[in-house]
A = this chain, B = another copy of it.
């Protein structure tokens, strides 16, 4: 689903990653994190797709909300497991959405 985000400005966290082989508990944690983040203050939505490369973009009201989510205890557990088990490599980019436009046929 394309996220229904508000009028800019708002923030995006672009997370691109290469996974290790096997699930190793990843799917369960991903479901849990989606549930958790959906209730988080300042969270606006997310978009995700994976082929060899995985891209997950979450949208946020402001930098403060992003910081709080990064420091969430359960999320810290997931982040730690991510580095140890699930990801060969990843890159996170924090970007301020200045403009957007859309098309619907």
CB-defined contacts of A103 to chain B, threshold 8 Å:
83, 87, 89-91
Copies of this chain in its oligomeric complex: 2
Question: What's the dominant secondary structure at chain A's contact region?
Answer: strand
A8 to B94, CA, bound (A): 10
Q: Which of A56-98 contact B (CB under 8 A)?
A: 57, 83, 87-98
Q: Are A97 and B95 in contact (CB under 8 A)?
A: yes
Interface size on A, residues (CB 8 A): 41
Give which listed residue, B5, B49, B57, B97, contacts A54 with CB less than 8 A.
B49
> What are 30 pairs between A and B in contact, CB < 8 Å?
A2-B16, A2-B53, A2-B89, A2-B91, A3-B91, A8-B93, A12-B95, A14-B14, A14-B95, A16-B47, A47-B53, A48-B55, A49-B50, A49-B53, A49-B54, A55-B55, A55-B57, A57-B57, A83-B103, A87-B105, A88-B104, A89-B102, A90-B102, A90-B103, A91-B102, A93-B100, A94-B100, A95-B95, A95-B97, A96-B96
